[in-house]
Amino acid sequence: MSRTGPHTGLGVAAILVTAVLWGTTGTAATFAPGAGPLAIGAAALGVGGLLQAAIALPALRRSRRSLGAHAGLVGLGAGAVAVYPLAFYSSMHLGGVAIGTVVSLASAPLASGVLERILERRPLSRWWMVAAFLGVLGSTLLCVSRDGGPAASAADTAAGIGLGLVAGATYALYSWVVHRLMGHGVGRAASMGAVFGTGGALLLPVLALTGAPLLASAQSFAVAAYMALVPMFLGYFLFGLGLARVRPSTATTLTLTEPAVAAVLAVVVVGERLTGAGWTGLAVIAAALVVLALAPANVAGRQPGAPGQGPSDRTAPDRSEQDRSAQDPAPGAERPAAARAAVAPGGRDTAPAD
C-alpha cells in the first residue's frame, strides 16, 4: 500500500506552492523601501484576508450556524491572523532578516506540534520530529548565512527574537484553528473565509494609520497589491486546501521551504550572495522535505485510536452542511462534512475536504 494517499499528496503540493509564493514577499518588499513593517503586514494580510472572505461568501452563509456555534474558535484564529504579519515583519525590521526569519519560521512547526500534543493529546511521530529538526537546522544555516547587514542593538535583537516567537506561535495557532473548524464540520472555504476575513478586518485600522507610504508611488502601490493578491490571497487559498488534507504540524513544517525560496530569489533578483553555510542549509531543508515525502500517513503523529481521530470524536456538522450537495458550483466551495469524516483504517482521511 502507498505510504501517502492521493489526497495527502495534493495537500503537500498545495502547501509547497504556498511556501514558494510566501518566499517572494521579502524580495517584493525591497521594491517599497519607504513602507514600514506594520504597513506591509497590514496591507498584505488585511486585504488578502478580506478577499478570502469575499470568495467564501456563499459558504459563509451556508455555514453561519456552525460558525456561530464556534464563534470563540473563529475569534481566536482571527486574532492570531491579525497579530502574525505585524509581528513577523516587525521582527525582521528590528532583529534583521536572519533573526526574524529564523525565529518566526523555525518556531512555527514546533509551536504547531506542541499545540496538537497539548490541546488534542495527539502523539508526534519520530518522522515529524526528524523533519522538524532538519527544517529548523536548515533554516538557521540559511538565514544566518544571509546576515550581512549592520548588527542590531541588543535591545532591538531581543525585541526581534520576541516578536519572531510571537509570529511563529500565532502562525501555528491560526493554522490549528482552521484545521479544527474543518474537523467540527465547517467547510474549508467557510473556515478560511471566517478566520482570515475577520482577521483582515482587524488589520484595517492599522493599514489606515500606517499605509500612506504605500500610496506614495505607483511602484509602492504595485508592491502592496502584489503581496495582497498573490502571496497572501492566492497563497492562503492554497494553504486552506492543504490544511484540509494534512495535519497543521505537517503543514507548518512544509512551509520551512519558504526561506529557501527567499534565499534563491535574493541571490538571483536582489544580488545577495549565499555562503557555503547557506547552500548547506538549502540541502538540509531539501532533506526535511524528503523525510516528509517518505513518511507514513501518520507523519504528524496521526495514529489509529488517538483522541480526535475518528468520526465519532468530531462534533456533528450543521444540518445545513449535511444537506449540501457533494459538489458546489460556487468558487472555493466544499464537499459535505460527512465526506471529510471518512477515515481509513490507517487513520488518514480518505476524501478531500475542499
What is the residue-level pLDDT of the chain in tens, covering all 354 positions? 334 455 678 888 999 999 899 888 877 877 888 888 899 999 999 999 999 999 999 999 999 999 999 999 999 999 999 999 999 889 877 876 666 776 777 777 778 878 878 887 777 778 878 877 887 787 777 666 655 545 556 678 778 878 988 998 999 999 999 989 999 999 989 999 999 999 999 999 999 999 999 988 899 899 999 999 999 899 988 988 888 888 887 787 788 787 778 777 777 776 766 678 877 877 887 787 677 666 664 444 443 333 333 333 333 344 344 444 333 443 334 443 333 333 333 333 333 344
Residue 108's pLDDT is 79
Q: What is the distance between the alpha carbons of residues 48 and 236, in angstroms, rounded to a whole number?
A: 8
Q: Would you state the pLDDT for residue 196?
A: 95
The pLDDT score that the predictor gives to residue 236 is 87
Distance CA 148, CA 152 (A): 11
User: Quick one: pLDDT at residue 309?
Assistant: 34
Per-residue pLDDT, 249: 74
Question: Hey, what's the cell of 222?
Answer: 504595485
Cell of 91: 521582527
User: What Rg, from alpha-carbon coordinates, does the chain have?
Assistant: 20
| pLDDT reported for residue 343 | 32
What are φ and ψ of residue 233, in 5° steps? -65, -60
| Cα distances (Å, whole numbers) of residue 213 to 28, 88, 159, 303 | 15, 19, 24, 50
Full-model pTM: 0.70
| Residue 225 pLDDT | 92
C-alpha 149 chain-centroid distance: 28
β-strand partners of 343:
349
Q: How far, CA to CA in Å, does 66 sit from each of 176, 183, 194, 320?
A: 17, 12, 11, 9
What phi, psi does 147 have (nearest 5°)?
Answer: -80, 85
Q: Would you give the DSSP letter of residue 245? A: T
What cell was used for 23?
A: 518566499
Q: How far apart are CA 321 and CA 66, in angstroms?
A: 9
123 neighbors 306 (Cβ within 8 angstroms) = yes
The C-alpha atoms of residue 271 and residue 263 are separated, in whole angstroms, by 10
pLDDT at 174 (0 to 100): 93
Q: Which residue's entry shows cell 479544527?
A: 180
